[in-house]
Each structure stands twice: as C-alpha cells, then as structure tokens.
Amino acid sequence: MTKETYHQTLRVNKNAMGEDDMSQEINKIYEIFSNLLKPRQAEVSNSEPRYVISVAARMVGIEAHTLRYYERLGLVQPQRSRGNIRLYSQDDVDQLCCIKTLMGDLGVNSAGIEVALRLMQRMEEIQHQLGEMEVRVERLMKTNMESDIE
C-alpha cells in the first residue's frame, strides 16, 4: 500500500492537528505497517543444504539428469545426506542458474564455465578483502583524528 492509501484509510481529522503533524503521523504509521508486512526471513545460511535434486532442478528450470551431468563435470558439488541423497544449498542453486545461463544461453563450454566460476569466486573474495580493508582504513582514520584532536 502507498502512503496515500493509508491516509485515506485513516481519515485523519485535519482540524485536530496541523498538516505537518498529520504528515509525520502518517509517515510513522506507514513505516510501522511496512515493517510488519515485510516477509520474515529465518536465520538460515545460503550454504546450508536443503533442496533435493528434483526441487533444485525445478528452481533452476532444468532436468534432474542435467544436474547430475553438471556434477559429473565437477561444476557443482551438492552435499549428500546419510541416505546418499543429493542436497543442494541456495548457493548451489544460484551457481546452477549461472551455469545454465552460460551453457544454454551463451553457448559457453564446460571448460569456459569452470574458468568463469573460478573468476567469479575470486572476485567475491577480493570484494570481501576490500570491504575488510575499508573498515581498517576507517578505524585508522578515526584513531588518527582522535589523536590529532588531543
């Protein structure tokens, strides 16, 4: 819903409060309802295996035998349950979507996909390292500024 819808629903008495007060009140109520209506996400890691092969295949939009083929090529390594059932994590599903796009839509072969996946993984590692370095630099700048003030 939009802020205007909330305004119409609430039918705030304009005479009782000023327009600025009314607008602030509507904004507060809108924020409260927005937060209440947001889907709640469980504290689950994307790397936790949770999808069996048929579900993962449906999510990616390919057949289960294609997932087994990608596993034979070494492009994805699903975890196994005690009963030796393949279990895919959300990260695996995301990687499979990428593989499907590279292979099916762009015509990249399996060797090219391996290189692309390694490059993407390395880019993520570098971005993580960069983020850590930025935090360190901010801390150093803050301590330097505090020492300059003293």
The domain limits of the chain are: 3-37, 51-123
Judge: domain 51-123, CATH 1.10.1660.10: yes
Could you tell me the two tokens for 20? Answer: 């600025």
Strand-pairing partners, residue 79, are: 87
Tell me: pLDDT of 94 over 70: yes
- Residues 54-83 have a mean pLDDT of 93
pLDDT mean across residues, the chain? 80
For the beta carbon of residue 68, count every other beta carbon within 10 angstroms.
15
Tell me: pLDDT of 150 over 70: no
Write down the pLDDT at residue 5: 47
pTM check: above 0.75? no
Confidence of residue 36 (pLDDT cuts 50, 70, 90): low
If phi > 0 it is left, if psi is from -120 to 50 it is alpha, else beta; for residue 84 that is left
- Residues 16-44 have a mean pLDDT of 63
